[in-house]
Structure 1
Amino acid sequence: MKKFFFDCGTRDPLASSGLVLMRLTIGWMMLYGHGVAKIQNFEKLKATWAVPGIFPLNFMSSPVSLVATIGAEVVAAGLLIIGLATRPAAFVLGFAMCVAAFQVHAHDPFFAKGGAAKEMAVLYLIPCFVLIITGAGQWSIDAGFDTEKRRRRLR
């Protein structure tokens, strides 16, 4: 279980530099551009927030769905920023982006032309896939949990 949650993936310095830049950028953009805005407008959004049509999520009420979305956009994005439990956090955020793109915006066009579209959700989904595959990299809290692997690779 520790390997699943805290495996940092690559320890290559150049790849880790790219991963930390991607984690920080995507995390901050999601946290401040989407998550904090939803927290600030919670009272207005809770009555009309979309509930996914996927079992068992379709049993949630609108406010519970909004809280789950805020959890993904704030907590998971914050974990990506610090590089803790990066793969599970990327999975949670990626799942939220799948719901946004293919449930909430199912009838919207793919590309944004001044209105609602799938494009933004998919653009956040792609880095989540990358982080699930690669891990957080050498410069993350996850890398500190993996001392056994570090010793093995130095030989």
Structure 2
Amino acid sequence: MKKFFFDCGTRDPLASTGLVLLRLAYGWMMLYGHGIMKIQNFEQMKAGWPVAGIFPLNLMSSPVSLMATIGAEVGASALLMLGFMTRPASFVLGFAMTIAAFQVNAQAPFFSTGSGPSKEMAVLYLIPCFVFIITGAGQWSIDAGFDTDKRRRRWKK
């Protein structure tokens, strides 16, 4: 289980630099552009916030659905920026973006036509989640500090 939660993935310095830049940019855009905005406008948004139509998510009320979305967009984004529990945080964000794209905006066109919602932005936010689930956080992350296998002395016979 530790390997799933805290494996940093690659230790290549160049790849890790790219991953930290992607983690920080993606996490900041999701946190600041979406999560904090939802916290600030919670009272106005809670009544009309959509609820996904799949079980068990359809059992949530509108305010609870909004709080779950805020939890994903703020909590998971912060974890992602730190590089802590990167794969589970990416899964949570990816799940939220999948719900946004294919449940909430199910009837919307895929690409933006300039008027009304589309699936495009949610799918664009979903792609980095796949990258982090596959690659991990990289060498420049808190997850890398939990990887003790490299530090163990290997005895040769």
TM-score greater than 0.5 by the shorter chain = yes
Match of 2:140 in 1: 139
Match of 2:92 in 1: 92
Match of 1:38 in 2: 38
1:83-142 Cα deviation digits (max 9, x unpaired): 000000000000000000000111111111223110000001000001000000000000
Which is higher, the Rg of structure 1 or of structure 2? 2
2-structure distance, mates of 1:27, 1:152: 36
The answer for unaligned runs of 5 or more in structure 2 is none
What letter matches 2:38 in structure 1? K
Moved over 3 A (4+): 149-153
Percent identical residues: 79
Structure with bigger helix share is 1
| Count of residue pairs brought into register by the alignment | 154
In the superposition, relative to structure 1, how do residues 94 and 152 fare at CA in structure 2: closer, same or farther (>3 Å)?
farther
2-structure distance, mates of 1:27, 1:7: 19
Matches within 5 A, 1:4-153: 4-114=4-114, 115-151=116-152
1-structure distance, mates of 2:65, 2:8: 30
Query: Superposition RMSD on alpha carbons, in Å?
Result: 1.5
Q: How high is the TM-score relative to the length of structure 1? A: 0.95
What letter matches 2:145 in structure 1? G
